[in-house]
Amino acid sequence: VSVTDVGRGAVFLLTDYGNRDEFAGVTRAVVLDRAPDAILVDLTHEVPAFDVRAGALTLARCVGSLGPGVVLAVVDPGVGSGRRAVAVAVGGASVRSTARRAGPRYLVGPDNGLLGWAIDALGGATAAVALTPPSGPAGPTFDGRDLFAPVAARLWGGATMNDVGVPIDPGTLVRLADPVLRVTAGGPLEAEVLWVDGFGNVQLAAREADGDVAGLHGALEIVVAGSPHGGRRVANFDVLGTDELGLLVDANGRLALVCRRRPAATVLGVEPRDMVMVRPVSGPGR
Amino acid sequence: VSVTDVGRGAVFLLTDYGNRDEFAGVTRAVVLDRAPDAILVDLTHEVPAFDVRAGALTLARCVGSLGPGVVLAVVDPGVGSGRRAVAVAVGGASVRSTARRAGPRYLVGPDNGLLGWAIDALGGATAAVALTPPSGPAGPTFDGRDLFAPVAARLWGGATMNDVGVPIDPGTLVRLADPVLRVTAGGPLEAEVLWVDGFGNVQLAAREADGDVAGLHGALEIVVAGSPHGGRRVANFDVLGTDELGLLVDANGRLALVCRRRPAATVLGVEPRDMVMVRPVSGPGR
Amino acid sequence: VSVTDVGRGAVFLLTDYGNRDEFAGVTRAVVLDRAPDAILVDLTHEVPAFDVRAGALTLARCVGSLGPGVVLAVVDPGVGSGRRAVAVAVGGASVRSTARRAGPRYLVGPDNGLLGWAIDALGGATAAVALTPPSGPAGPTFDGRDLFAPVAARLWGGATMNDVGVPIDPGTLVRLADPVLRVTAGGPLEAEVLWVDGFGNVQLAAREADGDVAGLHGALEIVVAGSPHGGRRVANFDVLGTDELGLLVDANGRLALVCRRRPAATVLGVEPRDMVMVRPVSGPGR
């Protein structure tokens, strides 16, 4: 590995292939067959099957932490259909990046909205190409192996966008609907659940500033499917009592409903895409 | 990493150790302790516990995508018993390989049939050795750490087969029973279920040519445990309606029963080793 | 990668982040952003959520197999609270190590007992520092990304302990309670269940010598929650009949209750921290 190669960075993988089957392993092997010096970083392979929205949110949460390289993302219920496969070039300058080095230069995956919020987080697309489909005996069902991994390896190795596809207008890339968020001054705040993590924390489609507008400080009322729960604004998990619900600013700058060493999602009975309303107990919404 | 080292390729890992315990992690660490320049590629560690047949099928599905290196495979219910541990050399020329570079040169694992179909797919064994058991304080239960990882590291690093074991006749390696497949001209086709993947796709022990012989085009009848289901031959998932069953040629060249964004295995109530009968609706079997 | 870099070894990761979310992937990415030449080895990310004791035992089981490098361990229910974050230097000489090269030089993680038994296994702490909290926009909930990964990368790259924190007395590091073990000459032996692995093997807080003192040879009685089970001392899994329980010395030198190709934990109805009593059938305890 020369300094130049290390400078190329990593190939970052995010899929819904799971870790049980060999799909992720084969994708890794194909990248390394074509780019033997590449460093592979598995972001996750356990995006819920077919859940493009969850994959797009996950990728967007990751990109601010990534150094240079190529993102290979596959959550692709439309594999084998007419959906486009794309590579997208970005400036590599993330607004929120905490990485020491410049971020990824390319993202590769299906054109179904999976890449959109990550592209936004990396400063927007500077160019995009529709990938040339694989030739030869490739089947219709494993583009990770047959199309995306080879393209990611080529881009990592120095190929240009024009080497791997045909230019398209980045403005035509498929976009997912924005997460639902309604903020009223003094409350309430109504937000879509974006993510329930493995600890049961409930990330909302709202940021700290949204909570400030809605007056979400001190005691709170949290309403899910018509059922109210008490809670309070906190700075971390550990100040919460065993039975308490807290609202904090999480590691992505989002408001999240949490418990102390218990899954808040189970306590509240929520899952991604559910709506949650939060208001100050003394606020106008009460 | 010199060019020579990269030329040695990777150590490819496939086990039933799971990702929950540290078994896979320790195996990785031992390979790297002995071969610090090796590149590790996890194919999967989630082969169902003790399921040698599932592991052998998984490995066979992988090998055509692998570049050079050493395969370390452990699904080993007989660990600690008298079963042989082996390393097998292959020509590295896979009939169906899509890899750019030559494939793996060595496979290391228990002699219980786990390696057999992968060896076949890599052109057959050119030599085999029974591994010398580990000396010292190794226990009877973790040969991945104590035997297979050190041997894989040594072979990766340039050791010869005779350095790691005693020559045996490759013809004496344990073979698993071939998957069950009965094809009648014009139908029906009866095939063992080889694999249900994480999306619920049902891979059969039949290839495209078998489907052609059985006349599996257009409308189909699929019979599982005496219960008939309607279906049709398709080229990809996306042409299927929500409630339809399809038969397609999958990414391994096998016939597979699939649904669109739903698990066909659940719809059909099948699991690996079950038998499935498929026939054309207008065929002689009806 | 120069010889020097390879000589630095790996960054070994152990967390309860799970493989579903992107926490582990982001942690990997941050290490590589700061230490592009580092080799990452995932020990496991599936320590049960918040289970510091399980994580500490897992790490202790691993360290004897590790070559040089830095251990990054995060099972951290107190993240965001006042608990200390620490780096600990060790001599790298493990009493029980089977690694060819010297073991890890540094361990990084929360000061909640997670690192303690691994430190012991690596010969004890030679120095410890309390880590300087991350500056800037880091939130209170993801110290793996914001604190531990950057510190591990710096130590891997040659930073000194004083570069990353403020010296503390290693004797003040939090210790977990020792596992419960009571051994009576001739039996019985009473031991805490340390671990149930993915195969259902039940590791006890007792070593081979403890079993010798208790006379655990030949036929045994195993008592769990007042219910007796028959069993016998064996050298490996394969000599057991389908319905038999065995006691063997496992790959960590611990006594373990096992079945042949079945989960002994299910047969016995035990989980970690339960107490198990074992005595010879003809012993004085009967």
For residue A166, give every residue at least 6 positions away whose Cβ sits within 8 Å of its Cβ, in sequence order, or none: A129, A130, A132
Question: Does the pLDDT value for residue B93 go beyond 70?
Answer: no
User: Half-sphere exposure (CA, 13 Å, Cβ side) for A58?
Assistant: 34
Percent of chain B with pLDDT over 70: 93
Contact C21 A101 (CB under 8 A): no
Q: How many CB atoms lie within 10 A of CB C273?
A: 13
Give the pLDDT confidence score for residue C74 in this predicted structure. Answer: 98
Task: Report pLDDT digits (tens) over B141-157.
Answer: 899 999 999 999 999 99
Interface of C with A in 56-115 (CB under 8 A): 77-82
* A3–chain B Cβ distance below 8 A for any pair: no
Q: How many CB pairs under 8 A join B and C?
A: 113
* B234–chain A Cβ distance below 8 A for any pair: no
Question: Does the pLDDT value for residue C1 go beyond 50?
Answer: no
Question: Does the pLDDT value for residue B37 go beyond 50?
Answer: yes
Give the pLDDT confidence score for residue A167 in this predicted structure. Answer: 98
CA nearest to C266, candidates B114, A158, B49, B118: B49
Cα–Cα distances in Å, from C61 out to A150, C49, C194, C229?
39, 19, 11, 28
CA nearest to C214, candidates C172, C175, C255: C255
Pick the range with the lowest mean pLDDT from A95-99, B183-187, C149-153.
A95-99
Which pair of structure tokens corresponds to residue A43?
Answer: 């972001």
Interface with chain B: mutation pick from A22, A23, A145, highest number of B CBs within 10 Å:
A22
Give the pLDDT confidence score for residue B1 in this predicted structure. Answer: 33
Render A88-152 in DSSP notation, one character per residue: EEE----SS---SS---SEEEEESSSTTHHHHHHTT-EEEEEEEPPPPSS--SS-HIIIIIHHHH
In chain A, residues with a C-beta closer than 8 Å to the C-beta of C137 are 96, 98, 253
Task: Report pLDDT digits (tens) over A237-284.
Answer: 888 998 899 999 999 999 999 999 899 999 999 999 999 999 999 745
Residue type, position B55, single letter: G
Cβ(B188)–Cβ(B247) below 8 Å: no
CA nearest to A133, candidates A84, A76, A74: A84
In chain C, residues with a C-beta closer than 8 Å to the C-beta of A3 are none
Question: Does the pLDDT value for residue A138 go beyond 80?
Answer: no
Q: Buried (b) or exposed (e) across B137-146, using 16+ Cβ within 10 A?
A: ebbbbbbbbb
* B30–chain C Cβ distance below 8 A for any pair: yes
Higher pLDDT among residues B92 and A42, named by residue: A42
- Across residues B22-29, what is the average pLDDT? 98
For residue A60, give every residue at least 6 positions away whose Cβ sits within 8 Å of its Cβ, in sequence order, or none: A117, A118, A120, A121
Percent of chain B with pLDDT over 90: 82
Which pair of structure tokens corresponds to residue C2?
Answer: 């120069």
Considering only CB atoms, B41 lies closest to which of A28, A137, A138, namely A28
Contact A237 C20 (CB under 8 A): no
Q: What is the dihedral of CA B115, B120, B123, B127, to 10 degrees?
A: 50
In chain A, residues with a C-beta closer than 8 Å to the C-beta of C34 are 100
Question: Does the pLDDT value for residue B92 go beyond 80?
Answer: no
In chain A, residues with a C-beta closer than 8 Å to the C-beta of B61 are 22, 26
pTM of the model: 0.95
Render C185-210 in DSSP notation, one character per residue: TTS-EEEEEEEE-TT--EEEEEEHHH
- Alpha carbons B44 and B57: distance in angstroms, whole number: 12
Which pair of structure tokens corresponds to residue C203?
Answer: 């590791």
Question: Does the pLDDT value for residue B207 go beyond 60?
Answer: yes
CA nearest to C80, candidates C8, C16, C141: C141
Alpha helices in A122-263 (DSSP H): 143, 149-156, 161-164, 208-213
Query: Where residue A136 falls among pLDDT bands split at 50, 70, 90?
Result: low
Indicate the average pLDDT of chain A. 92
Which pair of structure tokens corresponds to residue C199?
Answer: 């195969």
Give the pLDDT confidence score for residue A272 in this predicted structure. Answer: 98
Render C20-54 in DSSP notation, one character per residue: SSSHHHHHHHHHHHH-TTPEEEEEES-SPTT-HHH
Which pair of structure tokens corresponds to residue C142?
Answer: 């993801």
- Alpha carbons C124 and C95: distance in angstroms, whole number: 11
Q: How many CB atoms lie within 10 A of CB A35?
A: 23
Give the pLDDT confidence score for residue A128 in this predicted structure. Answer: 98
CA nearest to A107, candidates A94, A125, A93, A95: A125
Contact C22 A62 (CB under 8 A): yes
Strand-pair partners of B128: B88, B168
User: Considering only alpha carbons, which residue of chain A is nearest residue C17?
Assistant: A198
Render A17-80 in DSSP notation, one character per residue: S-SSSSHHHHHHHHHHHH-TTPEEEEEES-SPTT-HHHHHHHHHHHHTT--SEEEEEE--TTTT
- Across residues C55-74, what is the average pLDDT? 97
Question: Does the pLDDT value for residue C136 go beyond 70?
Answer: no
What is the dihedral sign for C-alpha B199, B202, B203, B208?
A: negative
Pick the range with the lowest mean pLDDT from B141-145, C181-185, C215-219, C244-248.
B141-145
- Alpha carbons C110 and C57: distance in angstroms, whole number: 15
**By CB neighbour count within 10 A (0-12 exposed, 13-18 middle, 19+ buried), where does C83 fall?**
middle
C278 in helix, strand or coil? strand
Give the pLDDT confidence score for residue A92 in this predicted structure. Answer: 58
DSSP H/E element including B267: helix B264-268
CA nearest to A71, candidates A91, A101, A43, A46: A43
Question: Does the pLDDT value for residue A209 go beyond 60?
Answer: yes
In chain C, residues with a C-beta closer than 8 Å to the C-beta of A9 are 36
B65 in helix, strand or coil? coil
User: Considering only alpha carbons, which residue of chain A is nearest residue C34?
Assistant: A100
| The most confident of A133-137, C90-94, C194-198, by mean pLDDT | C194-198
Cα–Cα distances in Å, from C8 out to A8, C5, C66, C156?
22, 5, 12, 7
Phi then psi dihedrals of residue B252, to 5 deg = -105, 10
For residue A212, give every residue at least 6 positions away whose Cβ sits within 8 Å of its Cβ, in sequence order, or none: none
User: Half-sphere exposure (CA, 13 Å, Cβ side) for B158?
Assistant: 5
User: Is the ipTM here above 0.90?
Assistant: yes
User: Considering only alpha carbons, which residue of chain B is nearest residue A52?
Assistant: B261
Cβ(C216)–Cβ(C248) below 8 Å: no
